[in-house]
Every structure is written in structure tokens, then in C-alpha cells.
């Protein structure tokens, strides 16, 4: 009798273990707040945390498509604008 395989031999299709819409909504909410601000709307420590941890994590949870590329581009543009205003 053959023993069952403990690990899949073929790659499994990508499937989100979280609500992709909620991830997208969170990024969109940050963009709305950033666009409305003349300077960073958060304390420096919060901005650093968002830049180094939160936004890369959220972007990494979205499927690689045009919508994700758009969000990444818009986020980078706002970061650049707010950094210049600081």
C-alpha cells in the first residue's frame, strides 16, 4: 500500500486566505486620507510603520494584476508628494 504524500507535488492555484476586497479598501482609504492632506496625516513613527510594514504587506496580499499595479503606483506618487512637502 502506498503511503499518502505529505506535500503536494504540483503547485496549488493561488487562493486568498483573507478578504481581498477589504485589503483593497484599506489601501484606498489610506490614499483618500493622503490625497486630502497637505503634509503627512500621521505621526512620523506611524508613517514609517505604514511604509515598511503595512503597505508592502497589503500590496503583497493582492493578486498580481493591473488593479494592484495601479494602487502601488498611486501610493508611491502620494508618498513622493508628501515626502516633498515635509
Look at residue 12 and tell me whether its pLDDT is greater than 80. no
Single pTM value for the model:
0.78
Q: What pLDDT score was predicted for residue 18?
A: 83
Summarised one tens digit per residue, pLDDT across range 16-72 is 678 999 999 999 999 999 999 999 999 999 999 999 999 999 999 998 899 999 999
Look up residue 24 and give its three cell numbers. 483593497
* Beta carbons of 64 and 20 less than 8 angstroms apart: no
Amino acid at each position: 500500500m502506498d503511503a499518502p504524500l505529505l506535500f503536494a507535488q504540483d503547485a496549488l492555484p493561488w487562493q486568498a486566505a483573507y478578504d481581498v476586497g477589504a485589503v483593497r479598501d484599506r489601501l484606498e482609504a489610506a490614499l483618500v486620507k493622503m490625497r486630502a492632506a497637505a503634509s503627512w496625516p500621521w505621526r512620523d513613527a506611524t508613517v514609517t510603520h505604514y511604509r515598511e510594514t503595512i503597505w508592502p504587506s497589503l500590496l503583497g496580499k493582492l493578486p498580481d494584476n493591473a488593479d494592484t499595479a495601479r494602487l502601488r503606483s498611486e501610493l508611491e506618487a502620494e508618498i513622493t508628494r508628501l515626502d516633498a512637502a515635509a
